[in-house]
Structure formats: structure tokens, C-alpha cells
């Protein structure tokens, strides 16, 4: 069997590094065609030396210029246009979307247009453009398989099941590092403490999203588009052990769950190989040692981001884009010490309240001109929301 050629976008982040480990462990089944990063050119150089891609893309133009000066051994594409051009190429089989935030949208759309298998860790892409992306996938024959552990679990639970049999999807949330911290203590939360996730080792942005529970709010919207299920059929339960990755409840009352150790390589490998399962030697789940499994309702009073995200998803149109852009700026500002942990949801909710008239209008994806117009609306909304949010940050000092 010939190996599958992988275009890995976001190769230097936590998902990207784990994806390369999966490929390393399955040499002969997968090989790297392309790598892309935003700005971590030091780590990218080492990845090029090991995996020998035909070309790479560096999204940050200053970093790309510095990298080109080092005379790398392969073709280097530059900036946002370079990311899109690389994704647009036809000589690869699987696109791994692991770029952080809104930057992952345009390359993912290009891969979907190509009809590729798209394995997606970048949840923001489906949050801001889920309707467009899923419609494009239907037209091109692209298959979108989630890498998030929760959505991977749902995907696995739904194999062989009819959509009509779903009563609800239940996403699990660890609760983050502040699950048991009293609300009155939130004002003194530090960046260092917020970055200490109890179960997962992830990038800085997603770790803060987990601490605010925005990560789970984004996942609710993502699940709507991935599984074509209305938001009122998607619930969240807090599960501190992160052993049950999600449930699906069916109309007859049966519940399926996918369990495993908290290791991102498991859903990554499944996304690359599905429906086949490849043998592997990752840490195996010992049910006796992990028999104390707890579940609880999330506290949306302590963690309002979960409520705010659901409301934005229900309003639809450009509201999820506003939600995502405001959240990205809020997280950046918190990490930079410009706002407090408590101000993250306040900024996001204020951005949604300030949304211009017409933000709820449905984005059209019927024709190419309509798709182009919808993408322009999304890009403009993202840019304007970021400018508004940055002014909010300045005013909060």
C-alpha cells in the first residue's frame, strides 16, 4: 500500500508536534508532503531536516524573511497567500488543520475545495464558517474528520448509526484548573495559574480557553456543523478525569461513549487512518486504576463563556465570528497582562452586544459569487471585531 501524503498546517504547535509523532510511529503509512507554521521557524527547521517536505509555508512575513535568509533545503512560501497556495496544491492526500485561531480558515477552505480529507483541530474554522465549509465539502466530496478528542469521540460513536437515531450529543469538559475555585477568587487569577491545565498539555491559547470554558462553547458550535445536529441537542457535562471523551445518547435511551487516556495522538491517528484502526503502544486505559469517574453540570455563573458561546451560536450569521474574534483578542490581552481573567467574558459579551445590524443574516453558499461574498463578510467582521476589542482593552486599563 502506498503511503498517504500529509499537508500539516500548524506543524510547530502541540497538535502538529503530536501529529508528527504519529507519522513517525507509522512510517510507511504516512509521509509529510508539506509543513506550515505561523512563526516558529526554529522548530520548523528541525522538522524539515527529519521529514523532508517538498515545500513549507511561513505565515508571518517577518519570520519567513528570516527563514529564507538561512537558505533552507526546500521551497518556502510566504505569508497568508503562501499558506493558501500550499493548501491549494493537489499532490497530497490529507490536510491536517492545526493552525491556531482564525488564521486556519483560508487554508482549510482551499483544502476542502480540493476535495481532500480534512482532519481538523482548528475549531475556530467551523465556528466562524461552519455553514460555508460543510456546504463546500458536500460539493467537493471532501471528508471532514475532527481531531479534537471530544468530537473524535462523537465521530467514533456515530459510526454505523443513522442521524435520526440521535437524541443528543454530550460533550465532556475537564472543568479546567479553576473548577473548584470560588468565583470571588477569579479576579486574582494569574496567567501562570491559568496555563496549568490539570490533564492536557496544549498551546497557550487553547489552555486559556479551557480555563474559561470558552473552549467547550466553541466545541458546541463546531459539533452543530460537524454532525448536523441542532444546538438544543448538544449538552456539556464536567468530567474532571478526562477519560470519557464524549457521549452520544440515542432515541431508545442507549448511550455510547468513547474512553481513553488523555493523549492527543489517539484522535490524531484515528483521523488519519479512519475507518481503519492502527495498532499502537500509547498508554492504555486501565479501568481499575481509573474507576473513579465523576460527572457534573457546568456552572455558567462562574464560567459565563459557555453560555455566551451557545447564545452566539443560536443567533447564527456573523455572531459566531464576532464571538471568536473577540475571544482571541481577550485571550491575547489576558496573556499580556492587559486585562484580568474576569474581563475575558465581559469583553466578549460587550463585543456581541455592539454587533452591527444585520449580523444575524444567514451566510449564503449556493454559488461561487455568494461564497466569495460570504467570505468577504467573515473577513471584514473578524477584522472590525478585533479593532473594536483592542479599543475595549485600551479603555479597560
- What's CA 383's distance to the chain center, in Å? 20
Q: Is the pLDDT of residue 52 over 80?
A: yes
Please report, rounded to a whole number, the percentage of residues in the chain having pLDDT higher than 70: 99
Q: What mean pLDDT do residues 365-381 have?
A: 85
Task: Record the cell numbers describing residue 70, joined without a space.
Answer: 538561512
**pLDDT for 152:** 97
Q: Is the pLDDT of residue 397 over 70?
A: no
Q: 31 vs 176, which has greater pLDDT?
A: 31
Lowest mean pLDDT among 90-94, 199-203, 369-373: 199-203
Mean of pLDDT over the chain: 93
**pLDDT for 280:** 81
- What's CA 102's distance to the chain center, in Å? 10
Q: What mean pLDDT do residues 37-47 have?
A: 95
Neighbours of 361 (CB within 10 A): 12
- Confidence at 19, pLDDT banded by 50, 70, 90: very high
**pLDDT for 374:** 87
**pLDDT for 155:** 97
- Confidence at 289, pLDDT banded by 50, 70, 90: very high
* pLDDT tens-place string over residues 114-136: 999 999 998 888 999 998 999 99
- Confidence at 55, pLDDT banded by 50, 70, 90: very high
Lowest mean pLDDT among 59-68, 100-109, 236-245: 100-109
DSSP assignment of 335-389 equals HTTSS-TTHHHHHHHHHHHTPPTTTTSPPP-SSHHHHHHHHHHHHHHHHHHHHHH
Residue 331 contacts residue 205 (beta carbons within 8 Å): yes
Q: What mean pLDDT do residues 203-221 have?
A: 92
Q: 371 vs 75, which has greater pLDDT?
A: 75
Q: CA end-to-end span of the chain, whole Å? A: 60
- Confidence at 160, pLDDT banded by 50, 70, 90: very high
- Confidence at 370, pLDDT banded by 50, 70, 90: confident
* pLDDT tens-place string over residues 221-255: 999 999 999 999 999 999 999 999 999 999 999 99
- Confidence at 219, pLDDT banded by 50, 70, 90: very high
Query: 14-25 vs 41-51: helix axis angle to the nearest 10?
Result: 10
Residue 288: phi, psi to the nearest 5? -70, -45
> CA–CA separation, 135 vs 261, rounded Å?
34
- Confidence at 283, pLDDT banded by 50, 70, 90: confident
Q: Is the pLDDT of residue 57 over 90?
A: yes
Most confident range (mean pLDDT) of 3-17, 119-133, 190-204 is 3-17
**pLDDT for 206:** 85
**pTM of full prediction above 0.85:** yes
**pLDDT for 1:** 58
Lowest mean pLDDT among 1-5, 15-19, 326-330: 1-5
Strand 255-259 relative to strand 244-250, pairing: antiparallel
Return the closest-CA partner of residue 341 out of 183, 201, 219, 173: 183
Q: Per-residue b/e over 211-222, b at no fewer than 16 CB within 10 Å?
A: bbbbbbbbbbbb
Amino acid at each position: 500500500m502506498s503511503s498517504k501524503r500529509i499537508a500539516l498546517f500548524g506543524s510547530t504547535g502541540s497538535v502538529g508536534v503530536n501529529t508528527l509523532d504519529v507519522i513517525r510511529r507509522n512510517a510507511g503509512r504516512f509521509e509529510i508532503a508539506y509543513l506550515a507554521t505561523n512563526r516558529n521557524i526554529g522548530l520548523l527547521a528541525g522538522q524539515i531536516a527529519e521529514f523532508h517536505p517538498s515545500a513549507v509555508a511561513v505565515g508571518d512575513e517577518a519570520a519567513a524573511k528570516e527563514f529564507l535568509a538561512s537558505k533552507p533545503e526546500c521551497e518556502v512560501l510566504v505569508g497568508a497567500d503562501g499558506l493558501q497556495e500550499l493548501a491549494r496544491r493537489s499532490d497530497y492526500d490529507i490536510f491536517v488543520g492545526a493552525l491556531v485561531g482564525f488564521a486556519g480558515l483560508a487554508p482549510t477552505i482551499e483544502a476542502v475545495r480540493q476535495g481532500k480529507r480534512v482532519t481538523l483541530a482548528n475549531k475556530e474554522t467551523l465556528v466562524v464558517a461552519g455553514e460555508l465549509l460543510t456546504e463546500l465539502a458536500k460539493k467537493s466530496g471532501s471528508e471532514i474528520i475532527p481531531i479534537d478528542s471530544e468530537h473524535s469521540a462523537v465521530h467514533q460513536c456515530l459510526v454505523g448509526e443513522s442521524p435520526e437515531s440521535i437524541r443528543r450529543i454530550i460533550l465532556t469538559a475537564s472543568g479546567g484548573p479553576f473548577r473548584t475555585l470560588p468565583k470571588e477568587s477569579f479576579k486574582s487569577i494569574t496567567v501562570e495559574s491559568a496555563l496549568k491545565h490539570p490533564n492536557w498539555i496544549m498551546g497557550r491559547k487553547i489552555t486559556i480557553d479551557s480555563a474559561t470554558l470558552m473552549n467547550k462553547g466553541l466545541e458546541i458550535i463546531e459539533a452543530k456543523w460537524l454532525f448536523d445536529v441542532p444546538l438544543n441537542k448538544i449538552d456539556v457535562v464536567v468530567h474532571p478525569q478526562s477519560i470519557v471523551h464524549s457521549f452520544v445518547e440515542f432515541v431508545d435511551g442507549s448511550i455510547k461513549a468513547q474512553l481513553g487516556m488523555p493523549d492527543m495522538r489517539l484522535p490524531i491517528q484515528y483521523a488519519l487512518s479512519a475507518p481503519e484502526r492502527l495498532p499502537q503502544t500509547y498508554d492504555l486505559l486501565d479501568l481499575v486504576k481509573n474507576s473513579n469517574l465523576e460527572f457534573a453540570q457546568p456552572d455558567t455563573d462562574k464560567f459565563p463563556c459557555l453560555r455566551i458561546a451557545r447564545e452566539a451560536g443560536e443567533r447564527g450569521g456573523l455572531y459566531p465570528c464576532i464571538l471568536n474574534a473577540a475571544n482571541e483578542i481577550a485571550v491575547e490581552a489576558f496573556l499580556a497582562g492587559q486585562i484580568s481573567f474576569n474581563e475575558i467574558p465581559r469583553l466578549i459579551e460587550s463585543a456581541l452586544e455592539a454587533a452591527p445590524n444585520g449580523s444575524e443574516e444567514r451566510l449564503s453558499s449556493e454559488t461561487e459569487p455568494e461564497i466569495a461574498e460570504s467570505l468577504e463578510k467573515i473577513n471584514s467582521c473578524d477584522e472590525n471585531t478585533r479593532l473594536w476589542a483592542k479599543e475595549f482593552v485600551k479603555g479597560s486599563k
